[in-house]
Amino acid sequence: MNSPYPILDISNLSITFLSDGIKIPAVSSFSCRIMQGTCTAIIGESGCGKSVVAHAILRLLPKNSQVEGTIIFKNQNIYRLDERLLQSIRGKEIGIMFQSPDRALNPIYRLYKQMFQPLDTHKVVPVQEREAHIHKALIKAGFSNPELAARLYPCHCSGGMNQRAVTAIILSLEPDLVIADEPTKGLDRSKILDIQASLQEVLHEKRTLLLITHDIRLAHTMAHHIVVMYAGEIVEAGPANAILSSPSHPYTRGLIQSLPENGFNPIPGCAPPLTNLPEGCRFADRCYQVTKLCHKRPAKLTQVNGRMIRCHRY
Amino acid sequence: MTVINIPSWLKKMRYTPTFCIIILGIFVYAAIFPKTISPYSPDIRFSPYGEPDENHILGTDDMGYDILTLLIYATRISLIIGVFAGILSLCIGTSIGIASGFHQGWVDDLMMGVTDIILIIPKIPVTILIAAYLHPSIWILIIVLGLFSWETTARVVRAKTMQIRNSGFVLSSRCLGFSSFSIIIHDIIPVIYPVLLPKFMLTIASAMISEASLSFLGLSDPMMESWGKMIADAFDHGGFIREMWWWFLPPAICMCVTVLAITRIGMIYESNEPEMVFE
């Protein structure tokens, strides 16, 4: 296999929402490079802009948003493409998996039709092989009887089955990059294991996975690289094992200490509102190692020991 | 006290529109093949103002035509006007509703502005004016009735479309690379279909009633015999003065029964089922 190359290269991505004349900077100067065949996890608490990044990659943001910076997917700038070319990328090259799979399926069609239509639009396989292709995808997603599963309606299936059906639809199109946006939100442990298995399947097929989650345990088992976000910016990024075993940024440390197995110590306070960001470091008010400098000047993202950290202490 | 045992097939019929489908089916059959059930040809004349007897179940009119024959042949015109006006109104209403609900923004503002204007036009007076101004014909009647009845359909379709376009499966369809057009065809129209059918049926019913009112005012195509025109003829040519109820009552009853049957069929999705909510 040839050496890994960046399949997705995001540089200086800034996203601002305009709402009633108020500017809300949801994401500021986000840069990230995702290598072919790896799993990158973006973690952070709710409202830190993780999902906005995922939506920006597929240009799904609402009209009141302003996007600056570049997103380069396989040498194509996503924001320079016209709508028709983008439609051929959506699904076929980049697949996205949303939270709550029950809502992602059209309630009035059988699974077979929902799997057939995308194959028909993107012409992934010749017409006569489509049925076999669908059955193969369903088996891969964990349905033991694909003929029966294809005839089901989404309301016949449990949440886990729908999750596997969504995975089957996305994987049947053979995308190079799969984005999973909070796939485990609000699920119990056994369901999370189901989803983890389907995500492992993505990696198993040498596809690239971008995992957006606040489930640190899931990120720990799946990811090769981790990007930690706080209030719209990257605070720490680097290899998953290194970051999770020895976190450097106070916020990452706080996140890991707030896990139940590490003593369940939550970070005091809450994230600053995006409409009224502090002048200095955005984490300063909640940081236990805060200095005078932190309140005055925003920290820059610097490279330390093979990872990127945004903190004045480094 | 004796308990009346209602047979189970009759009980079932209360909840299913089978009975109404049969009634509508009979009228549709009469509209398509009037020759097979009418006792006489519509051109044969008998003695005028005949009372009902064994040869003429509903008597004869002022020109000596058999009223039952006229009634059967009039079904076609009444149904054609209703169905075509309904189709026209459904097409306009659905396209405008989906376009404004799906694209929103200025498209929505413009189209809902037009809808508001159509909504405040007093329908019957304007229809009378147009029908009186233009040479009255069945096609002009269909176009006028169709053009003035789409606005409520558009409103309902717009609301439903706005609700569905923000749902998860539309978003995932977009993510799978479907164009807006194919999302509308495959995701939105099939889901709003249970709303479209009753709207369509109600429009057919109201178009038939409007046609009858216009015919009664003498504004329909004089060459086309419809139920409304039969009542108008009975009124103009002495049916009411002579109390010939067999002349004007049967078309009115046919009208009511058809309208009721059509409306009931339109409610097919409203039966005993819990409300379906698509989030």
Residue B275 scores a pLDDT above 70:
no
Q: Is residue A314 part of a domain?
A: no
**Domain end position, chosen among A116, A140, A174:** A174
One domain for residues A179 and A223: yes
pLDDT at position A191: 74
Give percent of chain B above pLDDT 70: 92
One domain for residues A209 and A244: yes
**Domain end position, chosen among A159, A174, A189:** A174
> CB–CB of B174 and A118 under 8 A?
no
Residue A100 scores a pLDDT above 80:
no
**In the structure encoding, which two tokens stand for residue B254, read together?**
């046919």
Give percent of chain B above pLDDT 90: 35
One domain for residues A284 and A217: yes
One domain for residues A89 and A106: no
pLDDT at position B279: 43
Q: Is residue A148 part of a domain?
A: yes
One domain for residues A269 and A291: yes
Reported pTM = 0.79
Helix, strand, coil abundance in chain B, percent, nearest 5: 70, 0, 30
Q: Considering only A173-182, A215-224, B15-24, which range has the smallest mean pLDDT?
A: B15-24
**In the structure encoding, which two tokens stand for residue A187, read together?**
């699920």
Q: Is residue A28 part of a domain?
A: yes
Rounded Cα distance, B182 and B170, in Å: 11
Averaged pLDDT, B63-86: 90
Q: Is residue A1 part of a domain?
A: no
One domain for residues A79 and A131: no
One domain for residues A167 and A212: no
Averaged pLDDT, A249-277: 85
> CB–CB of B176 and A89 under 8 A?
no
Please check whether residue A132 touches B, CB under 8 A: no
pLDDT at position A1: 43
Nearest-neighbour CA in chain A from B167: distance (Å):
7
Among A132, A93, A94, A96, smallest CA distance to A115 is for A132
Q: Name the pLDDT band for B52 (thresholds 50, 70, 90).
A: confident
Q: How many domains does chain A have?
A: 2
> CB–CB of B169 and A91 under 8 A?
no
Among B66, B80, B85, smallest CA distance to B30 is for B80
Q: Which of B179, B187, B279 faces A103 most closely, judged by CB atoms?
A: B279
> CB–CB of B169 and A96 under 8 A?
no
pLDDT at position B12: 65
Nearest-neighbour CA in chain B from A210: distance (Å):
15
One domain for residues A227 and A283: yes
Q: Is residue A193 part of a domain?
A: yes
pLDDT at position A187: 72
**Interface contacts A/B by beta carbons within 8 Å:** 65
> CB–CB of A87 and B182 under 8 A?
no
Q: Name the pLDDT band for B15 (thresholds 50, 70, 90).
A: low
**Domain end position, chosen among A125, A140, A174:** A174
Q: Is residue A285 part of a domain?
A: yes
Q: Name the pLDDT band for B9 (thresholds 50, 70, 90).
A: confident
pLDDT in tens, A115-126: 888 888 888 888
> CB–CB of A91 and B176 under 8 A?
yes
Nearest-neighbour CA in chain B from A239: distance (Å):
29
Rounded mean pLDDT of chain A?
A: 86
Look up the CATH number of the domain holding residue A259: 3.40.50.300
One domain for residues A118 and A179: no
One domain for residues A208 and A237: yes
| A-chain residue closest to B179, CA distance | A87
One domain for residues A302 and A188: yes
Nearest-neighbour CA in chain A from B249: distance (Å):
45
Phi, psi of B66 (to 5 degrees): -70, 125
Q: Which of B171, B175, B278 faces A107 most closely, judged by CB atoms?
A: B278
One domain for residues A197 and A84: yes
Please check whether residue A121 touches B, CB under 8 A: yes
Q: Is residue A47 part of a domain?
A: yes
Nearest-neighbour CA in chain B from A199: distance (Å):
18
Whether the predicted interface score ipTM is above 0.90: no
Residue B194 neighbours by CB under 8 Å, 6+ apart? B269, B276
> CB–CB of A106 and B177 under 8 A?
no
Instruction: Give the domain range for residue A270.
Output: 6-93+175-309
Please check whether residue A122 touches B, CB under 8 A: yes
Q: Is residue A130 part of a domain?
A: yes
Q: Name the pLDDT band for B90 (thresholds 50, 70, 90).
A: very high
